[in-house]
Structure 1
Amino acid sequence: MVSYSSAVSNPVAAADAPDEARQATHHVKRSDGKTIRFKNPYPSAGEPPSAWEITSTMILGRLTGSAPAPDLSNVKIPAVKPEFLASRTGSTALRATWLGHACYLVEFPSGLRVLFDPVFEGRCAPVQWFGPKRHTPPACALSELPPVDAVVISHSHYDHLSLTSVRELAARNPEAQFFVGLGLEKWFRDNCGTTKVTEMDWWQDSELVLRRKVEAKTGNDQAPETISARITCLPSQHSSARSASDKDQTLWASFAISSGGKSVWFGGDTGYRRVPKLPVHIDDYGPEYDSLPRCPQFKQIGELRGPFDLGLIPIGAYSPRFLFSWMHANPYDAVEIFKDTRCKRAMGIHWGAWVLTNEEVEEPPRLLKDALKRSGLPETGVFDVCAIGETREF
């Protein structure tokens, strides 16, 4: 099997970064200028509800029956066995395979393989005996993946960053480069046995170069000598924490990857607009709510870095809206993000694995079709969902 060594440049501030990025308005600093945590800088996030408010509201809803847990007894999310390319020169298209929740493996026509937010455990929690339990298995085991060149982590929450998964990935792929938000590099170095970690701020670029190792070639071996990619860390509207003591001490982000003439924008996990508490039957995209502030950073991403061949955009974990809209996009938000970022095509992520909030498990794809229709877009073929393990080409 052909193997590669990897090298990555130090992140540099993008020349086209917006003014607020250069001013680091998302950093909260001490008087000596040291960043101690991060924040969402726009009214579209507002002041987040406390962890106690979220937890108590969800528990009370379960106990009183006003917001029961979603029914899993008849959920049928399709799944297929994934098929990856046998070689790095097997396709001129961009190939994206959904492995469950926010995890995608993307194979670029250059030969580059990028894995986004890998979590292969049964529970997205600090321990595997308590916390949200997976109701659909991952598409495959980590051992069944082809060699991975880059692993992108959007933020530190347990449904996006799994210690067990990244440890195994680092062990199986010693040349893989991990790209993370500010503050996470030390966690990776301390816990995952790898030094190939690049932490980045919003609107920073880094170049990844893979060089083929000297090996005996077979007669049909056409693997490229070098593979290059541009990795850009970009904004999202979210938060971070792995315990009660480290809230917002590491940076959440979206990422853009360009290689071989194709580009992907990975939304990770993000909100779009802050919605107040409303009766459940009220449409918060009705005309009376047009004035609710929207996060302007997605239009900046589209204008300065778009268009993208593929967007991986979250569509789930959004109910009740007054608790989660600031940090989790619903399908209507997702379509607006899709348009703002100027993605040519998109796939929905962040649904179908764990019950994290109150909406029915299979609701996000249904609402996505309605959101596309309302926006005058085709209900299929532009912004889709797929079976777990399915590959789409772009």
Structure 2
Amino acid sequence: MYAVTISAPRVLGAVPDDVGEKSHWLRDEAGKGEAKGYVNPWKSAHDFSFPEIFRAMVRHKFFSGDSQRPDTTPPTVSVIKPKFLPSRKSSEALRGTWLGHACYYIEFPTGLRVLFDPVFEDRCSPFSWFGHKRFTPRPCDISDIPSIDCVIISHSHYDHLSHLTILEIQKRHSSVQFFVPKGLKRWFTDCGIKNAVELDWWEDVDITLSRSTDTKALANSSDSGRSNDDITARISCLPCQHTSARTPFDKSTTLWASWAVSSGGKSVYFAGDTGYRTVPYLPKGIDDWGPEFAHLPVCPAFKQIGTLRGPFDLGLIPIGAYKPRHVLSPVHSNPYDSVEIFKDTNCKKAMGIHWGTWAVAEENVLEPPKLLKKALAKSGLGETGVFDVCSIGESREF
């Protein structure tokens, strides 16, 4: 029904002064050429080597007394069947539906439909018989989603990028466009998918969905006088603090990213999967956001995003998969980190993602929303509803 036009990736918005240095690129010994891999270029990050993470996990599992297996026995997170809008122009509000973990379906008032980090399999694993299994069911199938214009991928980890899901989306929505971080387009090409666009941090594309003359005439007769203008949007690839891998041998060979999408005066910031600061090993019960740890560096990219690209009407910000803290803090945010990301990125409202679906870390599966309330109160935001959680399958308007 729509012809899609996409501009070449380039810088279209405000960027930091040092963006041209590409400090997140790993290059050859001369420091020239294209990226051979990627790195988090901030003091807030720490890249564990395999021996480091092995020693840390052995100490945690067998000597800390703090290791646990989260209880996923039902009931856990409520799951309801989502209700999508009946037509593209049936709401003046920005509408978001959580489909579990980091997957969100956004319906813009312009008619644009965007799906973030879709994974519809039972396991986030390269195997159907092994790996983390859902403790909450899928709220719907891909076939239940009426239209998908854009799919945005934050990085290559299996709980954010699924081969079978991507193929099913392409099969059912042939004109869908995939937007991925730099280096990941090859994976899509190898899957037989040609409509993938890769971007580097701070690059943007403008996308236009144009109806054919016949389709516009049909819509005019059925939409009660609704406007049938072309749908336009800007999609921006932005930094975050994480890593990537599909196998033990390709760590950090493709980029990870957060994203912004704006259309018709409404904007969404999708943080994807990210850490905020690196926390050292601490005894059980110690608050790593206490004043004695105020010196720990935080990732500066989020304030840059908020200053240069904000404000955003809605932020989709991860709140789960953070224990053991000294191992996962460089790449996963706990709710106290998440509230700081929310404030830094200048989001008006936010919803918590990256929890409630797979028990990929050790915290209790219902702990993230409880800690989020405490973090909001500590930050002075209190019970204002500015940063909330919802049932899987539930929709909110913004």
Q: Counterparts of 1:148-159 in structure 2 under 5 Å?
A: 148-159=148-159
Deviation of the 1:380 alpha carbon: 4.5
Unpaired runs of 5+ residues, structure 1, are none
Deviation of the 1:15 alpha carbon: 5.2
Q: Report Cα offsets for 1:73-114 as digits up to 9, x if no partner.
A: 254211111000010111000000000000000000000000
Q: Taking structure 1 as reference, are residues 19 and 308 closer, same or farther at Cα in structure 2, changes over 3 Å only?
A: same
Deviation of the 1:50 alpha carbon: 2.8
Q: Report Cα offsets for 1:199-222 as digits up to 9, x if no partner.
A: 000000100110113336163234
Partner in structure 2 of residue 100 of structure 1: 100
Deviation of the 1:275 alpha carbon: 0.5
Unpaired runs of 5+ residues, structure 2, are none
Structure 1 stretches of 4+ with a deviation exceeding 6 A read: none
Tell me how far apart the structure 1 counterparts of residues 350 and 294 of structure 2 sit (CA, whole Å).
24
CA contact (8 A) 2:76 2:136 kept: no
Partner in structure 2 of residue 201 of structure 1: 200
Q: Taking structure 1 as reference, are residues 52 and 102 closer, same or farther at Cα in structure 2, changes over 3 Å only?
A: farther
Q: Taking structure 1 as reference, are residues 342 and 15 closer, same or farther at Cα in structure 2, changes over 3 Å only?
A: closer
Where 2:303 maps in the other structure, the secondary structure is: helix
1:307 to 306, 311, 333: 311
Q: Taking structure 1 as reference, are residues 74 and 56 closer, same or farther at Cα in structure 2, changes over 3 Å only?
A: farther
Q: Report Cα offsets for 1:313-358 as digits up to 9, x if no partner.
A: 0000001111011100000000000000000000000001111111
Q: Taking structure 1 as reference, are residues 142 and 55 closer, same or farther at Cα in structure 2, changes over 3 Å only?
A: farther
Cα RMSD over matched residues? 1.6
Where 1:217 maps in the other structure, the secondary structure is: helix
Tell me how far apart the structure 1 counterparts of residues 227 and 3 of structure 2 sit (CA, whole Å).
14
CA contact (8 A) 1:88 1:223 kept: no
Normalized against structure 1, the TM-score is what? 0.95
Where 2:118 maps in the other structure, the secondary structure is: coil
Q: Percent identity?
A: 55
Tell me how far apart the structure 2 counterparts of residues 380 and 51 of structure 1 sit (CA, whole Å).
42
Aligned AA for 1:274? T
Partner in structure 2 of residue 18 of structure 1: 16
Partner in structure 2 of residue 210 of structure 1: 209
Q: Taking structure 1 as reference, are residues 189 and 262 closer, same or farther at Cα in structure 2, changes over 3 Å only?
A: same
Normalized against structure 2, the TM-score is what? 0.94
CA contact (8 A) 1:75 1:362 kept: no
Where 1:35 maps in the other structure, the secondary structure is: coil
Partner in structure 2 of residue 277 of structure 1: 281
Q: Report Cα offsets for 1:270-294 as digits up to 9, x if no partner.
A: 0000111101210000001011000
Q: Taking structure 1 as reference, are residues 125 and 330 closer, same or farther at Cα in structure 2, changes over 3 Å only?
A: same
Q: Taking structure 1 as reference, are residues 340 and 384 closer, same or farther at Cα in structure 2, changes over 3 Å only?
A: same
Aligned AA for 2:222? N
* Number of residue-to-residue matches in the alignment: 390
CA contact (8 A) 2:13 2:204 kept: no
Tell me how far apart the structure 2 counterparts of residues 202 and 356 of structure 1 sit (CA, whole Å).
27
Q: Which one is further off, 63-72 or 162-171? A: 63-72
Q: Counterparts of 1:314-353 in structure 2 under 5 Å?
A: 314-353=318-357
Q: Report Cα offsets for 1:98-138 as digits up to 9, x if no partner.
A: 00000000000000000000001111111111111111112
Q: Counterparts of 1:1-394 in structure 2 under 5 Å?
A: 3-14=1-12, 16-30=14-28, 31=30, 32-46=32-46, 48-51=47-50, 53-54=52-53, 57-58=56-57, 66-191=66-191, 193-213=192-212, 214-215=214-215, 217=218, 219-221=221-223, 222=226, 224-394=228-398
Tell me how far apart the structure 2 counterparts of residues 17 and 164 of structure 1 sit (CA, whole Å).
36
Q: Report Cα offsets for 1:7-27 as digits up to 9, x if no partner.
A: 211110245211332210000
